[in-house]
Amino acid sequence: MPEPTVITLGCRLNAYESEVMRHHARAAGLDDAVIVNTCAVTSEAVRNASQTIRRIRREHPNARIIVTGCAAQVEPERFAEMAEVDHVIGNGEKMKAETFTGLTIPDSERVQVDDIMSVRETASHMIEGFGTRARAYVQVQNGCDHRCTFCIIPYGRGPSRSVPAGHVVAEIRSLVEKGFPEVVLTGVDITSYGPDLPGEMTLGKLVRQILKHVPELKRLRLSSIDQVEADPHLLAALAEEDRLMPHLHLSMQAGDDLILKRMKRRHSRADAIRFCEEVRRIRPGVVFGADLIAGFPTETEDMFARSLGIVDDCGLTFLHVFPFSPRKGTPAARMPQVARATVKERAARLRAKGTDVLEAYLNRQAGESCDVLMERDRVGRTPHFAEVDVSGRADFLAGEIVKARIMGRNGDKLMGEAIA
């Protein structure tokens, strides 16, 4: 292999960190390395990581396989026991250049996983972006101080910690100078940004600083947010800043108050509805996505019906549906479980509802005009993050913003025509 290969499993933050590791491994000369950046959000994700590692060893028998990410942080012994694995490194270690330099030393330590809960800072890493030249992701925060009963991620990521605003602004300015028109702020819990920094920083204040100090940035987008932590400055930015995209993905999880309480979430059903109504009032046309879990322990049919109903009550458009998966080591895994067949059936019903609301939204876009950020070939995204197949020209450049008229939809994709 001519240079290090990185396999990313899981979230956008992992994808960002994979690019940092690719740079570190390349600089260290680890040209034969395959780095597997794992996810631990569900038991299935961990099993998938193990299967991926075995496949890589079959396909690349002479590669040096390095396993990292949340699954490696939470269950290092699981991967250390795999004969296919050469090194296991933790989430803290994977972001340090010296970790990869150390791996070039013969007989370097095989397992390097320290106590992630002792980490108190998140370093800023300048990267070229990844994927297409259209969109870059910038880490502004890592870790989580909350203890949702279904989630193992705080033990994989450690406590919440923020990247100083000046570093974030500098990175975004660099990316814009390299030609990226859109930046997405990402992290584990980005609405918890700021309390560990001086000056009473918040996510909303960070957004304001970015838009003020990088006026050339055409689009700023947020990854998933916890609506209960949305600060007044963020709401003001949504109301006043056209460059802040009118698309929010909410960490909602359920629509029943008792289930939310058992999840140890910090919002109620009424809070979620009120938030969506308020944002829609100050930013007409905003589109919401949400994470929803089907079949959480003790969930009855009536409780599930309230989760199903919150899709309409909040006016959600993009659903990420997760059938509940008990994660060893979490309180939810010790609660009375819903039958697996019921979990799968409820997840299917939620996904069907998601298909219905998405198709209804896409149908309503016919005849509208919008700015489409081109990603590849003829495919781009609207400000609301709907995917569009654009015709009317021979070719488009990745990163180009094209004015298009929406002609209709094809499945879950809009069909548009470029306006000369």
| pLDDT per position as a tens digit, 48-74 | 999 999 999 999 998 899 999 888 888
Tokens linked to 33: 């390395």
Evaluate if residue 33 carries a pLDDT over 80: yes
Give ∠ CA 81-83-89 in degrees, rounded to 5.
Answer: 60
Q: Is residue 375 part of a domain?
A: yes
Question: What's residue 409's pLDDT?
Answer: 94
Q: What pLDDT is stored for residue 130 in this prediction? A: 54
Same domain, 330 and 258: yes
Looking at the domain assignment, is residue 377 inside a domain?
yes
Query: Packing angle between helix 269-282 and helix 232-240, nearest 10 degrees?
Result: 40
- The least confident of 5-9, 39-43, 123-127, 353-357 is 123-127
Q: What is the pLDDT of residue 231?
A: 95
**What are residue 90's phi and psi, to 5 degrees?**
-80, 175
Rounded-to-integer distance, Cα 270 and Cα 34, Å: 47
* Nearest CA among 107, 172, 109, 163 for reference residue 135: 172
State the Cα angle at 352 between 344 and 321, rounded to 5°: 55
407 neighbors 415 (Cβ within 8 angstroms)? yes
In a domain, 124, yes or no: no
Interatomic CA distance for residues 343 and 283, integer angstroms: 36
Q: Is the pLDDT of residue 320 over 80?
A: yes
Site of tokens 């949400």: 290
| DSSP conformational letter for 418 | E
Read off the pLDDT of each residue in 243-269 and give the average, rounded to a whole number. Answer: 97
Place of tokens 């680890």: 30
Phi, psi dihedrals of residue 141, rounded to the nearest 5°: -160, 155
Both 222 and 337 in one domain: the answer is yes
For 290-337, the DSSP string reads EEEEES-TT--HHHHHHHHHHHHHHTEEEEEEEE--PPTTSGGGGSPP
Contact indicator for 75, 43 with CB cutoff of 8 Å: no
90 and 66 within one domain: yes
In-domain check, residue 127: no
Residues 381 and 307 in one domain: no
Instruction: Identify whether the C-beta of residue 189 lies closer than 8 Å to the C-beta of residue 215.
Output: no
Structural domain contains residue 24: yes
215 is written with which tokens?
A: 């006026």
pLDDT of residue 126: 47
In this predicted structure, the answer to whether residue 22 has a pLDDT above a threshold of 70 is yes
pLDDT above 80 for 214: yes
Query: For residue 366, what pLDDT band results from cuts at 50, 70 and 90?
Result: very high
Residues 286, 224, single domain; the answer is yes
pLDDT beyond 50 at 237:
yes
Our measurement of the distance from residue 228's CA atom to the centroid of its chain's CA atoms, rounded to an integer in Å, reads 18
Is residue 130 domain-resident?
no
- Number of independent structural domains in the chain: 3
User: By residue range, what is the domain housing residue 383?
Assistant: 369-418
Cα angle, residue 296 at apex, residues 293 and 301 outer, rounded to 5°: 95
Quick one: what percent of the chain has pLDDT higher than 70? 95
Q: Both 390 and 272 in a single domain?
A: no
